[in-house]
Chains A and B, each alone.
Chain A
Amino acid sequence: MTVTTTPRPFPLNRYRVQAILGRVAVHAVLSLVGLTCLIPLILVVSISLSDEIRLAKEGYQLLPVGLTTFAYEYILQEPGQILRSYAVTAFVTAAGTIAGLLVCSLLAWPLARKDFRLRGPLSFYVFFTLLFNGGMVPFYILVTRYLGLKDNIFILILPYLVTAWYVLIIRTSFSQLPTELLDAARIDGAGEWRIFFQIVVPLSKPVLATIGLFFVLRYWNDWFLALLFIDDSSMYPLQYLLYVLMANINIMAANPQTTGMPIPTLSARMAMAVLAFGPALFTFLLLQKYFVRGITIGGLKG
């Protein structure tokens, strides 16, 4: 886009035309890429709203064929397993986020304190886990054989509570707190625990909110721990339930409850997926700007 002629005092000179064309091109490319990203979402929602018989005949289409909510009605007729899985995921997410925030920030605060004598060794202890890990095999054996936490709901929570990366971000934020305030509290005779809960935590709400959201996302979307350690279907979290349904496609067709009705396996499977990600995705999108802030501080400057 080299400018070869000198700009003339006309409102529509060559330079301006190029600028406008450039801006149009930018918007065109961005909306094209953005809409392409949306296609999978549209496809799955359309399938879930399609008529089963026409789906089998016409295949999956980007727009619903024979608009119907039958698949949803079918699933919600017998919502036992979905509700259970929702409850498991909700419990794990809530408990994990609260406990994780507590443990991580309690660990981050001493690491932010210059007068803590064990700061160096403890920093190493925490951050070495970012560099090296034992991998899946010893972890699996430890949990199943030595801790005996197989098919225990707490195994879905405990391993993620301390995440070195989150500790690091919280610590950076803590170390930027004004020391005058803390000194003043200390002179007034406040103990370390009191200073933490009454001064440090309230002053650090933004970073704790961001890390809290990362915890929510992590627990809500987790299938890994369930894949390794949960066999009891009453403890399936949502994501793992979806995996099981995908792996055993016939599980739905085998449901004897709907004799005489066409069993909507094609659309019901996608309806299941929509029910699983819909509400969470909506919530996360509402809170998007906090995630963006977290990525920016986490990605750029620790």
Chain B
Amino acid sequence: MSENILIELKGLTKRYGYGDTESFALKDFDLTIKRGEFIMIMGPSGCGKTTLLNIIGLLDRATKGEYVLNGEDVAGISARRQAKLRAKKIGFVFQNFNLIEDLPIIENVALPLVYAGYSKTIRLKNASTALKRFHLEEREYYFPYQLSGGQQQRVAIARAIVSDPEIILADEPTGNLDSRASHIVMEELKAIHEEGNTIIMVTHNPSLTSYATRVINMLDGQIDTDIKTVADANLPQPISVKIKKKKQQQEGFISIDTDEDKKTKKRKKSRRRQ
């Protein structure tokens, strides 16, 4: 099952400051994440949740430690390569949406595809497909300020999945939303997860843990408790997501469909039909 391991963190340490001001956001942090997991990370403020997410998302670098993403050691790679991986393999969802105010939402959604190197036609087509999924197809040329918070967050999620990433990182995606909008957003994330995507989400809200397959409690830069809420065998297996991924296939990032995988897929499809 080693090919099913998506992320492997070993001895990850992140230090801020030197000497007297030295503090550790992460200390000898070990974590293995399998494809298809929906992980919730909880813990008090300052326990290193966001730092962990930023390091996994290649926005930040650990002071020391190993980080293997999809079989590739990415701890020491160049900033340029990091950016490339961010564009192709990682989708971010933020608490404050982080949409670009000056761009219509379709272009906001298409943004990762710009840096992944797709042509304009493909960008707009894929962005449009992603927006349709969140029932925002009629708002393609609205600007972010013309949408409600819940809609903006759905745009942000559409942006996170548009390049069909290996992993989706969500930093308190419901933190700025009311309970109704929160619920819609969580249902969307659940649906994305059920298609086989891996999601890591940081949250303060314990009631959301029911969506997760694994809940990690962090304390002072280390794992306090790590509870798997669903048995491994029941994890949804990865299937290819609808969004066009021709380029990525050439690069061989797509998972190999074993016979077993196909069976589960079939099983799942029939389950959905019922």
- A and B from one assembly? no
Contacts from B to A (Cβ < 8 Å): none
